[in-house]
A = this chain, B = another copy of it.
């Protein structure tokens, strides 16, 4: 075997190509080989096979650049080791930096490497913004398709169609080019028959859209359903779900999201947009080695992509970044904050230049209020907060109960039927009521809107007293009949939305929660707002109104109540705080209204937390048994590491591998008779002094590889994890050296360590496992799954609900 050649390769390869670093990552010790004794090593063994008869360093280097396939990768539905991934990236970075001094090309490479993160952010922003624009435009058009078609071109939506119209109408909605289905088929739009025809067409289109959506999801990308945020939270915390952010998911989710939104189901596109943006991020990661090959770096990109997703969903870049920070991300270094901000801005401006709403506005719901609020109004705002908290807790409970039933009973076997039934019910109930027939985001816009003089909607049908009007500033007025009708319709819409959303969220179509939650809150808020307004109008002599709401003054803004209600309900469901307020602040653009929003969001969170600690995303994570270690909840029990570690008191002792006295066969027996994903390596069974930790996957791959490709490795070969292997009699088979796959710096805690500290370590360092020692002797092991099970047990939940490692 070419010993010298190997060592030259080992040193020189460190300056040749970045891919080599994957080896260095897989075996940290290898990259630090400078002070190794000149002995045969595992990789040397391979080199003798692969580079066999050839001389010359370049072949050697080529070989060495390729890591042992599989070593250092993860299986599906497993947790990554953050420490290892970050180490690998640092090794990589170190190499590039040190090489950059050597040649201009390497310097260029180093510079391009440094800027690749920014380039990636730019691309994510552009792609996410464009897709969001596409989704907005398509969904708008298809939503209108349920009601009619444009004769000037079937690809125009209602609003666009009437813009193109040359005729001027007082009511811009009614232009001759736009034909409702009854107008198109019957030639007129009046009468019961026309109404029934329109009704029928509405339901049929809705069913068609939702059928197509569920079939596409079922057939091509099962991961495309739902909002995706619970899974993205889990993935960002270090879990692997292959394909969840893949290109098929992206394509299918984009298409089906449009279909699902257009079908009129009680769902929104905001949550799924985060999923879409994360898919973009993940796919674009493949363009850059730095991100493609490192799970930790990729998660930084995904955090930024999530920010871009929210940024385009609401047109709120700062809110998006804070959402990613507060709600979604797990590991969020400051560098990511800055990059997320960049990606979110690019995405928002891309969307704006596409201009899907046709109003050059960045934000989804642009509102402008003119009147300040009064301190006493905090009472209704806090009431809305309480309502939001109650609704949030109620929604989470019912939705989780329903989803659990879907999982455990036969119901779950008919997803297509379920979608069709829910769509049919939604469409049938929705059509007769103007406020449910329109798309939910239009509804919210209308509810947020402060009635101006020229507003013609029913919600603004007040009894006008033009004598007291000064300029744009409308005083509080008596509600007209339109407002009363609208109130009834809104109340019915509220009841419908409250119940139908419970059954909608979790079906096999893309479905977001933000919009339905906001709609519930906005309706409740507007109802309360109008009630307070009328109270103030008719009873402005009451002491509570005196001093700030005299006759003819404009003191109550029902639109603000709707906004506060929306924030409260969204807060109750998702338990967002800062990001929620900042998103809402970006919608209004004035610090003026932050205090009401904050009061409502705080009340809502407290009320909801008092009923159930979990937000909807965490509840779904738990329902699915993902291994997610919540960073917000403090672990507050008195248990110690010894209570959680395995083996338990009466279990057989911990399975360990000794450093230089086990044969290949012994190890294979251990591996095949247990299912642990890693084994501690000790000096000897009697001393139990810990040397390191070896992963099952690496062990299997290395032994298999050595048996196939390395001469003299048989079942009786001794496996040696030390630097110097003990000399063996000449007749014995050659030694299999596996130091390179041994993790020499496993994390340890003592058996007396309080579990709160252990949980903290797992959380902050992103560990997969941690070894437990007592007075220097190895005693047991705690894995992330053990920690999660223990937390579940302490919270009186079923510890077996944690399914994955």
- Which of B338, B349, B594 touches A578 (beta carbons < 8 Å)? B338
A371 contacts across to B, CB distance below 8 A: none
Chain B, residue nearest A114 (CB): B606
Taking A748-B748, A776-B778 as contacts, is the C-beta distance between A97 and B754 under 8 angstroms?
Answer: no
Tell yes or no: A209 within 8 A of B by CB.
no
Tell yes or no: A90 within 8 A of B by CB.
yes
Contact with B along A336-347 (1 / 0, CB 8 A): 011001100100
A183 CA to B272 CA, complexed, in Å: 71
Tell yes or no: A326 within 8 A of B by CB.
yes
A6 CA to B91 CA, complexed, in Å: 56
- Which of B744, B760, B773 touches A776 (beta carbons < 8 Å)? B773
Chain B, residue nearest A94 (CB): B636
A636 contacts across to B, CB distance below 8 A: 90, 93-94, 97
Chain B, residue nearest A687 (CB): B776
A578 x B750 contact (CB < 8 A): no
Tell yes or no: A318 within 8 A of B by CB.
yes
Tell yes or no: A613 within 8 A of B by CB.
no
B690 x A776 contact (CB < 8 A): yes
A581 contacts across to B, CB distance below 8 A: 341
A748 CA to B761 CA, complexed, in Å: 12
Tell yes or no: A662 within 8 A of B by CB.
no
A333 CA to B752 CA, complexed, in Å: 26
Q: Would you give the shortest CB distance from A574 to chain B, in whole angstroms?
A: 14
For residues 318 through 340 of chain A, which have their beta carbon under 8 Å from a beta carbon of chain B? Answer: 318, 321, 325-326, 333-335, 337-338
- Which of B589, B632, B765 touches A589 (beta carbons < 8 Å)? B589
Chain B, residue nearest A34 (CB): B638
A689 CA to B778 CA, complexed, in Å: 11
Tell yes or no: A629 within 8 A of B by CB.
no
A348 x B773 contact (CB < 8 A): no
Tell yes or no: A595 within 8 A of B by CB.
yes
For residues 616 through 639 of chain A, which have their beta carbon under 8 Å from a beta carbon of chain B? Answer: 631-632, 634, 636-638
Q: Would you give the shortest CB distance from A167 to chain B, in whole angstroms?
A: 31
Tell yes or no: A753 within 8 A of B by CB.
yes
B687 x A638 contact (CB < 8 A): no
Tell yes or no: A20 within 8 A of B by CB.
no
Q: Would you give the shortest CB distance from A97 to chain B, in whole angstroms?
A: 7
For residues 685 through 701 of chain A, which have their beta carbon under 8 Å from a beta carbon of chain B? Answer: 687-692
Tell yes or no: A517 within 8 A of B by CB.
no
Tell yes or no: A192 within 8 A of B by CB.
no
A582 CA to B32 CA, complexed, in Å: 43
Taking A777-B689, A778-B776 as contacts, is the C-beta distance between A745 and B756 under 8 angstroms?
Answer: no
Tell yes or no: A551 within 8 A of B by CB.
no
B338 x A32 contact (CB < 8 A): no
B683 x A775 contact (CB < 8 A): yes
A158 CA to B620 CA, complexed, in Å: 62
Tell yes or no: A746 within 8 A of B by CB.
yes
Tell yes or no: A83 within 8 A of B by CB.
yes
A775 x B691 contact (CB < 8 A): yes
A690 contacts across to B, CB distance below 8 A: 775-776
- Which of B321, B748, B753, B764 touches A764 (beta carbons < 8 Å)? B764
A752 x B756 contact (CB < 8 A): no
Taking A83-B757, A87-B754, A338-B577 as contacts, is the C-beta distance between A591 and B317 under 8 angstroms?
Answer: yes
* Among A97, A317, A750, A773: residue with most chain B CB under 10 A: A750
For residues 44 through 103 of chain A, which have their beta carbon under 8 Å from a beta carbon of chain B? Answer: 83, 86-87, 90, 93-94, 97
A-B contact pairs, 21 of them (CB 8 A): A28-B754, A32-B640, A87-B754, A90-B636, A90-B756, A94-B638, A317-B594, A326-B334, A334-B632, A335-B632, A341-B578, A349-B595, A362-B591, A683-B775, A744-B750, A745-B754, A746-B750, A748-B773, A776-B776, A776-B777, A776-B778
